[in-house]
C-alpha cells in the first residue's frame, strides 16, 4: 500500500506540474494586451498634443479633439470584446474594429502625426481577425499611412515610403511568430497534461494490481490453506466416525483449532498486521518451530507427516517483511506437501549466511515435474497459485526461489533473500 500511495501521489504531482506553464501563458495573455493599450493611448495623446502645439488656433482643432476623444472611447470599449483570451472572431468585433479604423483614418487625413497609432491597431487587428484577414487589414493600413504622409509632405521622402511598410512588416512578423509559438506551446502543454493524467492513471492501476497480488497471496497462504486443512480433517473424521470415534473427535478438535487460527489470521490480515506467530514478538525460528509442530500433529494425504526444523548459522534480527514472507512461504510449501505430496516427513532448514537468509523445504513425497517459472499452471497443487505466489513474495524482496523435484524423488524448495542490498520493492518506494 505504501508503494501504491507513493506512486499515485507522484503521478498526481507530475500531472499538476504543467500548471506553471499554463500560468505563464495566462500571464502573457494579460500583460501584452495591457502594454499595447497603454502604447495606443500614449501615442494618441502625443499625436493630439503635437497637433495642438504645432497648429494653435487651427480651424480643424475642434474636429481633431472630438475625433480623438471618440477614438479613445471606442478603444476603451474594445477589451471586453477583443482581448478576451481564447475568444473567437465575431461580426460585432469586426464592426467595432471597422469603426475604430475609420475614425483613425479621418484623424490621419486631418493630422498625419496620428499615423503612429497604426502600430497598436496592427496588433488589435491581428488579435481580432483571422490571420489572412488581419494581414490584408495591415496592408491597407500601411498603404493608407504612406499615402497620407506623401500627400501632406512637401516633397518626395523615401523614408515616408519605406519606413511604414518596414515597421508594419516587423510588427506583423513578430506578432504572428509569437502567436504561433503560443499555439504550439498550448498544444504541447495540453499533450503533456494528457500524458501526465494517463501516467497517473497507469500508476494507480499498477498500484491496484500490486495490492490485488498482495491480497491474493495473503488469502492463499492463510485462509485458503486453513480451509483446505479443515476440509481434509473433517473428511477424515467422517471416514472414522463410526469405527474410531476418538480419532474422529481428534480430527474435529484439530479442525476447530485451525479455524481459530484462521480467524485470527483473517483479523490480522484485515488490519495488515504481521502473522500471528510473529505478532507477539516471536522470532522467525520460533514461528517455524511452532509451524512444524502443528503440521506434525495433522495428517497428510498419505498418512501422518513428521516435520522437523533445522537452523544453521547464527540467528540475527531480520526485517519484518522478510520474516513474514519466509513464514508464509513455509506455510504454503508445507500445505502443498501435506495435501498433495503423500510424504511421510518434511524438513525446514533456515540458514543464516550473513548477507542472505535461505529457507529450504524438503519432503520425501511422490515428487513432480517442475514447470518453468512463469509457464502458467505452476506447482503440483493443480491450481497454479502456490508457486507463483511464493516467487512473487521472494522477488519483491530482491531474492530468488528455486524448486528441485522429480517423480518419485520428493521435492526441495529453496527461497533465498539478500539482507544487505536494497531490495526491488524499496527502490520503487
Crossing angle of helices 19-54 and 158-219, rounded to 10°: 160
The per-residue pLDDT string of the chain (429 residues; one tens digit each, 9 = 90 and over) reads 334 334 434 444 444 444 444 455 555 556 767 787 788 889 888 888 988 888 888 888 899 999 989 888 888 876 555 445 445 556 677 788 888 888 888 888 888 878 878 878 888 888 777 878 888 888 888 888 887 777 766 667 787 778 778 878 887 888 788 778 878 888 888 888 888 888 888 887 887 777 677 667 667 666 777 777 778 778 888 888 888 888 888 888 877 877 777 776 776 666 555 566 666 567 889 888 888 888 887 654 456 789 999 999 888 888 888 888 898 888 888 888 887 788 888 999 999 988 899 999 999 888 888 776 544 444 444 444 577 878 888 888 889 999 998 888 889 999 999 987 444 444 444
Residues 186 and 43 in one domain: yes
Domain presence at residue 231: no
pLDDT of residue 270: 60
Residue 422 is predicted with a pLDDT of 46
Tell whether 8 and 128 lie within a shared domain: yes
| Run of H or E residues at 265 | helix 245-270
β-pairing, 356-363 with 411-418? antiparallel
Q: Are 160 and 296 part of one and the same domain? A: no
> Are 38 and 154 in a shared domain?
yes
**What is the spatial distance between Cα 264 and Cα 281, in angstroms, rounded to a whole number?**
16
260 within some domain: no
Would 88 be classed as within a structural domain? yes
In a domain, 337, yes or no: yes
Polymer length of the chain: 429
In this prediction, residue 86 carries a pLDDT of 46
For residues 187 and 298, membership in a common domain is answered with no
Q: What is the pLDDT of residue 425?
A: 42
- Residue at a domain's end among 168, 196, 224: 196
> Can you count the helices (H) and strands (E) in the chain?
14, 7
Number of domains forming the structure of the chain: 2
Local structure of 400: helix, strand or coil: strand
Residue 203 lies in a domain: no
Q: Which regions of 247-372 does DSSP assign to beta strands (E)?
A: 299-300, 303-304, 306-312, 345-352, 356-363
Going by C-alpha positions, the residue among 247, 223, 206 that lies closest to residue 3 is 206
Q: Do 189 and 288 fall into the same domain?
A: no
Residues 184 and 299 in one domain: no
Check whether residue 187 and residue 291 sit in a common domain. Answer: no
Q: Is residue 232 part of a domain?
A: no
Among residues 377, 359, 360, which one has the least CA distance to residue 368? Answer: 377
Last residue of a domain, one of 144, 167, 196: 196
Pairing of strands 345-352, 356-363: antiparallel
CATH number of the domain residue 309 falls in: 3.30.565.10
CA gap 40, 24 in Å, rounded: 25
Whether residue 216 lies inside any domain: the answer is no
Domain that holds residue 345: 283-429
Claim to verify: residue 192 and residue 308 sit in the same structural domain: no
Write down the pLDDT at residue 273: 53
Residue 212 inside a domain? The answer is: no
pLDDT of residue 54: 85
* pLDDT score for 381: 42
**Considering just the CA atoms, what is the radius of gyration of the chain in Å?**
42
SS (H, E, C) 74-141: HHHHCCCCCCCCCCCCCHHHHHHHHHHHHHHHHHHHHCHHHHHHHHHHHHHHHHHCCHHHHHHHHHHH
pLDDT at res. 380: 43
If asked whether residues 303 and 189 sit together in one domain, one would say no
| Pairing mode, strands 299-300 and 303-304 | antiparallel
Where does a domain end: 140, 168, 196?
Answer: 196
Amino acid at each position: 500500500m505504501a508503494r501504491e500511495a507513493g506512486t499515485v501521489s507522484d503521478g498526481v504531482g507530475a500531472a499538476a506540474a504543467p500548471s506553471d506553464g499554463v500560468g505563464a501563458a495566462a500571464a502573457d495573455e494579460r500583460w501584452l494586451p495591457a502594454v499595447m493599450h497603454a502604447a495606443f493611448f500614449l501615442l494618441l495623446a502625443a499625436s493630439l498634443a503635437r497637433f495642438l502645439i504645432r497648429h494653435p488656433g487651427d480651424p480643424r482643432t475642434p474636429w481633431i479633439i472630438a475625433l480623438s476623444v471618440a477614438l479613445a472611447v471606442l478603444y476603451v470599449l474594445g477589451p471586453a470584446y477583443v482581448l478576451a483570451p481564447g475568444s473567437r472572431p465575431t461580426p460585432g468585433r469586426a464592426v467595432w474594429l471597422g469603426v475604430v479604423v475609420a475614425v483613425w483614418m479621418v484623424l490621419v487625413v486631418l493630422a498625419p502625426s496620428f499615423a503612429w497609432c497604426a502600430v497598436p491597431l496592427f496588433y488589435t487587428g491581428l488579435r481580432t481577425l483571422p490571420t489572412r484577414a488581419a494581414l490584408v487589414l495591415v496592408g491597407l493600413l500601411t498603404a493608407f499611412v504612406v499615402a497620407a504622409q506623401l500627400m501632406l509632405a512637401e516633397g518626395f521622402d523615401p523614408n515616408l515610403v519605406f519606413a511604414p511598410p518596414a515597421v508594419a512588416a516587423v510588427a506583423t512578423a513578430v506578432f504572428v511568430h509569437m502567436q504561433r509559438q503560443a499555439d504550439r506551446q498550448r498544444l504541447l502543454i495540453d499533450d503533456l497534461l494528457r500524458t501526465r493524467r494517463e501516467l497517473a492513471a497507469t500508476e494507480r492501476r499498477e498500484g491496484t494490481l500490486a495490492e490485488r497480488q498482495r491480497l491474493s497471496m495473503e488469502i492463499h497462504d492463510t485462509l485458503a490453506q486453513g480451509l483446505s486443512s479443515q476440509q481434509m480433517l473433517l473428511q477424515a473424521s467422517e471416514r472414522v466416525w463410526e469405527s474410531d470415534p476418538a480419532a474422529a473427535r481428534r480430527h474435529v478438535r484439530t479442525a476447530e483449532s485451525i479455524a481459530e487460527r484462521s480467524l485470527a489470521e483473517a483479523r490480522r490480515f484485515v488490519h495488515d498486521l504481521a502473522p500471528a506467530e510473529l505478532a507477539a514478538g516471536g522470532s522467525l525460528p520460533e514461528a517455524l518451530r511452532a509451524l512444524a509442530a502443528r503440521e506434525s500433529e495433522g495428517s497428510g494425504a498419505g498418512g501422518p507427516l513428521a516435520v522437523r526444523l533445522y537452523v544453521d548459522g547464527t540467528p540475527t534480527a531480520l526485517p519484518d517483511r522478510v520474516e513474514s514472507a519466509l513464514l508464509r512461504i513455509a506455510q504454503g510449501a508445507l500445505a502443498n506437501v501435506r495435501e498433495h505430496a503423500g510424504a511421510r516427513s518434511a524438513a525446514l532448514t533456515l540458514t543464516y549466511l550473513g548477507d542472505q537468509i535461505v529457507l529450504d523445504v524438503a519432503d520425501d513425497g511422490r515428487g513432480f515435474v517442475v514447470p518453468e517459472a512463469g509457464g502458467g499452471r505452476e506447482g503440483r497443487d493443480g491450481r497454479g497459485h502456490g508457486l507463483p505466489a511464493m516467487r512473487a513474495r521472494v522477488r519483491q524482496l530482491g531474492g530468488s526461489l528455486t524448486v528441485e523435484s522429480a517423480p518419485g524423488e520428493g521435492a526441495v524448495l529453496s527461497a533465498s533473500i539478500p539482507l544487505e542490498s536494497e531490495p526491488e520493492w524499496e527502490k520503487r518506494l
